[in-house]
């Protein structure tokens, strides 16, 4: 391959000459401002000042010479300068064309050499927007190289193009530089320390009859047009190239910010500094402010008189008033309007001020009326809030709270405005739960406390006393497994309750959601069951007034960030005074969890919660919902009846959730199933108390931690699978013994006798 490289190292940067008025000075005092018709504006300059003796240029890269022989302005050693544009920071220069020509007699090349000193100047770069890199020839390729170090030609990057003809000239067309005979490419930004390189392919000799030279060069957009004649010889030794330039701040390659801090910024009055990161990548350039013109490097920029020069949008020059950096349009006295070409000026209409005055008066009256109306509405709202506060027992609550100041647990009374703000005006996106007794919103109080705000449904006005007592008692419950009541709001038609916020959702979700169920092993289920039982036991036995929850279900057992159980939703709860065993109430609860005895008698007792908790245990064991017509066969529509049937028929394994049972937990599961069976007895008096249930579950947990205590119980899986002999089951369920450690020998006739009634109740739900 014949290969010739012609290096043209040209590091340049462009500056624009604005239209210079003869009255304005463009060079420093005592410095040459023109060279054979070419203007030399500062920061460029020639030699030293005849007045001060200092250099006429700002920095060394801006030094020019006036060549009397060629009658041209020269940059560096031999690069002619055509024009300098201060405004755009650009300069036009004539750059040599790199070429390779085959000499048949000497079989060599001729090349142009450029002074390499320019390669050390980073503040001059070829303008990527205003130039193209072009290669001309057949079987020719050309490169445009940029080096990080002019002395090291291996460190940098290149771009270029190639054109191949294979001796064919039919497709070569004048003015077409698309790849045959001529090719061109865009130039990457910030190319400095630049050289051009041209070479030929091996079959170059086959095209010598019409093409004995190859050329590569950079040319300003529109300055070169390809012709087929150029394949024989390019008629140009030099072509204009547009360069970007920037000042370096005394060769330190400083930015505007750095130069400003060093008090060395060269930008003069009414101008501003612009970092050159988008052009040269080094230093900065100065630009006149909007509405000013001139040389920002010399004496600063002067105001443009837009009015005298017709650079305005006013109706006429007469309607234009020049201001510093801008102008204003106006209308003469006696006329109105903006004075612009669009609106113009017209005689004043005296009717307009009258109309405006009347309108202003009307607006004032309207605004005043609105203010009075808003004040009236505000007072009306305040009275309504006071009415609701009294109606909902606010005065009674305050009286009760005043007598309990010694308590460490206080109930906060919130305003309706606080809770509206906390819930973003009860945004539906903040709803975290809906139930039969109200809707629960997530809210954030002003002190950044996250709370759950329950907006209840209509409350019976006759139950105000009981509601207030409930708030007082619940606010003083301090049990780790009961959701804490923080306070309430009584200013709305329906009272609002504010609870602590529990983050991880409900136990129902973890039982019945397949994705969550995978992370919900037996030990977690047993722990949560024991915690919930402890909380209900506390409500029944340890509260100042026993409380029956009346809506125990897995959806009302919440799990916090540590998956600790929190019993919630006391909207249906009732107090049971110590001297009473049962309360006559309207039947309330959730289908599938309701105590059948309570449904028949409407007599609410603590044992109603025990039955409902038994259904929750059945859920934990089976993973099935308490009541469903879709998922189970007909005999399994009621989970409680289904579990009792499996216990009675010695087929507990069939009811358990798939994958739950293993060698380690089978004894625990059997014992929990026994507890669930006791809770689900039809007669309430046969069921254990919640305290007994909690003790049994906690005992099972303790035993699970010390398997050595109960090793004899694990003889084999077949023995534990059948739970107890059929005779023992029937004995246990008739007499209702609540002890899990001893099963008396009684008969099971009672549950068989009541089975028809139970099924009838279940089918009627």
User: What are the residue ranges of helices labelled H in 449-521?
Assistant: 464-475, 507-512, 514-517
* pLDDT tens-digit readout, 138-155: 888 888 888 766 565 566
Residue 639 scores a pLDDT above 70: yes
* pLDDT tens-digit readout, 204-244: 555 555 667 889 999 999 999 999 889 888 999 899 999 99
SS3 state of residue 755: helix
Residue % of the chain over a pLDDT of 90: 32
| Ordered DSSP codes for 5-38 | -----------B-----TTS--S-TTS--EETTE
Q: Is 741 left (phi over 0), alpha (psi -120 to 50) or beta?
A: alpha
The pLDDT value recorded for residue 258 is 79
* Least confident stretch, 413-417, 556-560, 584-588, 658-662: 584-588
Element (H, E) at 434: strand 431-435
Degrees, nearest 5: CA angle 129-131-133: 125
Cβ(139)–Cβ(128) under 8 Å? no
The pLDDT value recorded for residue 335 is 84
Structure tokens at 441: 């919103």
Nearest-angstrom CA–CA distance, 106 and 201: 19
The alpha-carbon radius of gyration of the chain (Å, integer) is: 48
Nearest-angstrom CA–CA distance, 160 and 739: 94
Q: What is the DSSP letter of 228?
A: G
Task: Give me the helix-helix angle, 522-541 and 606-622, nearest 10°.
Answer: 180
Nearest-angstrom CA–CA distance, 558 and 452: 12
Among this protein's residues, is 551 annotated catalytic? yes
Which stretch, 112-116, 199-203, 380-384, 548-552, has highest mean pLDDT? Answer: 548-552
* Least confident stretch, 176-185, 216-225, 422-431, 575-584: 575-584
SS3 state of residue 272: strand
* Confidence band for 45, pLDDT divided at 50, 70 and 90: very high
Q: Which residue has 């001297």 as its token pair? A: 579
The pLDDT value recorded for residue 473 is 65
Structure tokens at 691: 């305290």
The pLDDT value recorded for residue 722 is 37
Q: What is the mean pLDDT of residues 285-298?
A: 92
Element (H, E) at 145: strand 140-149
Cβ count near 477 (within 10 Å): 20
The pLDDT value recorded for residue 681 is 94
Alpha carbons within 13 A on the beta-carbon side of 43? 25
More reliable by pLDDT, 1 or 220? 220
Non-local CB neighbours of 447 within 8 Å, separated by 6+ positions: none
| Ordered DSSP codes for 111-136 | -----GGGGG-TTEEE-TTTEEEEEE
Cβ count near 117 (within 10 Å): 12
The pLDDT value recorded for residue 312 is 93
Residue 735 scores a pLDDT above 70: no
* pLDDT tens-digit readout, 319-348: 999 999 999 999 988 788 888 988 888 887
The pLDDT value recorded for residue 277 is 82
Task: Give me the helix-helix angle, 606-622 and 666-679, nearest 10°.
Answer: 150
Backbone phi and psi for residue 679, each to the nearest 5 degrees, phi listed first: -65, -30
Structure tokens at 406: 């010694």
* Confidence band for 744, pLDDT divided at 50, 70 and 90: very low
Structure tokens at 197: 């390189």
Nearest-angstrom CA–CA distance, 312 and 190: 37
Q: What is the DSSP letter of 314?
A: B
Nearest-angstrom CA–CA distance, 16 and 6: 30
| Bridge partner residues of 419 (DSSP) | none
Residue 287 scores a pLDDT above 60: yes
The pLDDT value recorded for residue 18 is 36
The pLDDT value recorded for residue 391 is 65
The pLDDT value recorded for residue 379 is 82
From the candidates 139, 259, 551, 686, give the one annotated as an active-site residue.
551
Residue 575 scores a pLDDT above 80: no
Known binder of ligand: residue 455?
yes
Nearest-angstrom CA–CA distance, 172 and 165: 9
The pLDDT value recorded for residue 703 is 81
The pLDDT value recorded for residue 64 is 94
Nearest-angstrom CA–CA distance, 545 and 543: 5
The pLDDT value recorded for residue 36 is 92
The pLDDT value recorded for residue 679 is 96
* Least confident stretch, 375-384, 460-469, 497-506, 660-669: 460-469
Non-local CB neighbours of 390 within 8 Å, separated by 6+ positions: none
The pLDDT value recorded for residue 637 is 77
The pLDDT value recorded for residue 191 is 81
Element (H, E) at 421: helix 416-422
* pLDDT tens-digit readout, 745-763: 222 233 333 333 333 333 3
Structure tokens at 167: 């001796």
* pLDDT tens-digit readout, 491-524: 777 778 888 898 888 999 999 888 887 778 899 9
- The whole-chain average pLDDT of the chain stands at 78
Q: Is the peptide bond before 43 cis (omega within 30 degrees of 0)?
A: yes
* CA-based nearest residue to 406, from 467, 319, 476, 322: 476
Cα–Cα distance list, 182 to 102, 137, 418 (Å): 18, 6, 77
Which stretch, 288-302, 425-439, 479-493, has highest mean pLDDT? Answer: 288-302
More reliable by pLDDT, 738 or 558? 558
The pLDDT value recorded for residue 534 is 94
């Amino acid at each position: 391959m014949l290969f010739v490289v012609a290096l043209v190292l040209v590091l340049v940067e462009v500056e624009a000459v604005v239209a210079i008025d003869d009255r304005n000075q463009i060079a420093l005092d005592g410095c040459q401002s023109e060279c054979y018709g070419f203007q030399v504006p500062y920061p460029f300059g020639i030699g030293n000042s005849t007045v001060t003796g200092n250099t006429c240029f700002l920095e060394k890269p801006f030094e020019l010479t006036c060549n009397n022989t060629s009658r041209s302005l020269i940059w560096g050693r031999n690069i002619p300068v055509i024009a300098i544009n201060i405004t755009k920071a650009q300069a036009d220069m004539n750059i040599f064309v790199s070429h390779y020509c085959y000499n048949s007699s000497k079989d060599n090349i001729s090349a142009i050499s450029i002074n390499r000193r320019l390669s050390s100047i980073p503040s001059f770069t070829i303008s990527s927007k205003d130039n193209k890199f072009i290669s001309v020839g057949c079987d020719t390729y050309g490169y445009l190289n940029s080096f990080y170090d002019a002395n090291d030609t291996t460190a940098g990057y290149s771009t270029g193009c190639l054109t191949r003809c294979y001796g064919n000239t039919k497709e070569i067309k004048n003015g077409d530089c698309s790849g045959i005979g001529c090719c061109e490419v865009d130039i990457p930004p910030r190319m400095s320390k630049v050289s051009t390189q041209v070479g030929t392919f091996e079959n170059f000799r086959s095209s010598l009859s019409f093409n004995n030279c190859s050329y590569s060069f950079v040319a300003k957009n529109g300055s070169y047009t390809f012709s087929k004649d150029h394949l024989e010889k390019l008629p140009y030794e030099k072509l204009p190239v547009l360069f970007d330039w920037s000042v370096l701040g005394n060769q330190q390659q400083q930015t505007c910010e750095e130069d400003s801090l060093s008090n060395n910024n060269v930008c003069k009055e009414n101008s501003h500094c612009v970092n050159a990161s988008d052009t040269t990548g080094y230093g900065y350039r100065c630009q006149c402010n909007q509405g000013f013109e001139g040389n920002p490097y010399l004496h600063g920029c002067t105001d443009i008189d837009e009015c005298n020069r017709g650079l305005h949008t006013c109706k006429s020059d007469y309607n234009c008033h020049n201001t510093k950096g801008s102008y204003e349009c106006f209308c003469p006295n006696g006329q109105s309007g903006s004075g612009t070409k669009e609106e113009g000026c017209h005689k004043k209409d005296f009717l307009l001020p009258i109309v405006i005055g009347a309108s202003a008066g009307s607006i004032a009256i309207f605004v005043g009326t609105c203010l009075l109306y808003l004040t009236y509405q505000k007072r009306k709202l305040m009275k309504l809030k006071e009415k609701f506060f009294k109606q909902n027992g606010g005065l009674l609550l305050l009286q009760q709270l005043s007598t309990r100041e010694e308590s460490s647990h206080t109930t906060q009374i919130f305003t309706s405005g606080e809770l509206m703000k906390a819930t973003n005006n009860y945004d539906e996106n903040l709803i975290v739960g809906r139930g039969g007794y109200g809707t629960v919103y997530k809210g954030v109080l002003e002190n950044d406390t996250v709370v759950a705000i329950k907006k209840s449904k209509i409350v019976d006005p006759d139950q105000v006393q009981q509601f207030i007592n409930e708030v007082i008692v619940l606010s003083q419950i301090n049990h780790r497994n009961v959701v804490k009541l923080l306070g309430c709001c009584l200013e709305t038609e329906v009272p609002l309750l504010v609870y602590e916020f529990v983050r991880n959702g409900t136990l129902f979700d973890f039982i019945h959601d397949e994705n969550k169920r995978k992370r919900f092993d037996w030990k977690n289920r047993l722990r949560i069951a024991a915690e919930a039982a402890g909380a209900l036991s506390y409500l029944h036995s340890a509260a100042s007034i026993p409380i029956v929850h009346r809506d125990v279900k897995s959806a009302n057992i919440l799990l916090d960030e540590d998956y600790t159980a929190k019993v919630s939703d006391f909207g249906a709860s009732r107090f049971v005074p110590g001297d009473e065993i049962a309360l006559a109430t309207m039947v309330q609860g959730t289908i599938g969890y309701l105590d059948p005895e309570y449904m028949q008698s409407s007599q609410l007792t603590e044992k109603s919660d025990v039955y409902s908790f038994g259904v929750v245990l059945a859920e934990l064991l089976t993973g099935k919902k308490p009541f469903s017509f879709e998922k189970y066969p007909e005999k399994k529509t009621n989970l409680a009846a289904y579990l009792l049937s499996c216990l009675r028929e010695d087929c507990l394994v069939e009811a358990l959730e798939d994958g739950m049972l293993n060698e380690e937990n089978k004894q625990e599961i059997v014992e929990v199933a026994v507890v669930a069976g006791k809770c689900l007895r039809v007669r309430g008096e046969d069921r254990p108390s919640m305290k007994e249930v909690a003790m049994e579950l906690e005992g099972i947990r303790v035993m699970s931690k010390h398997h050595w205590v109960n090793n004899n119980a694990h003889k084999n899986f077949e023995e534990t699978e059948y739970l107890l002999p059929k005779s023992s089951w029937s004995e246990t369920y008739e007499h209702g013994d609540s002890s899990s450690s001893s099963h008396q020998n009684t008969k099971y006739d009672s549950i068989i006798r009541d089975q028809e009634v139970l099924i009838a109740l279940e089918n009627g739900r």
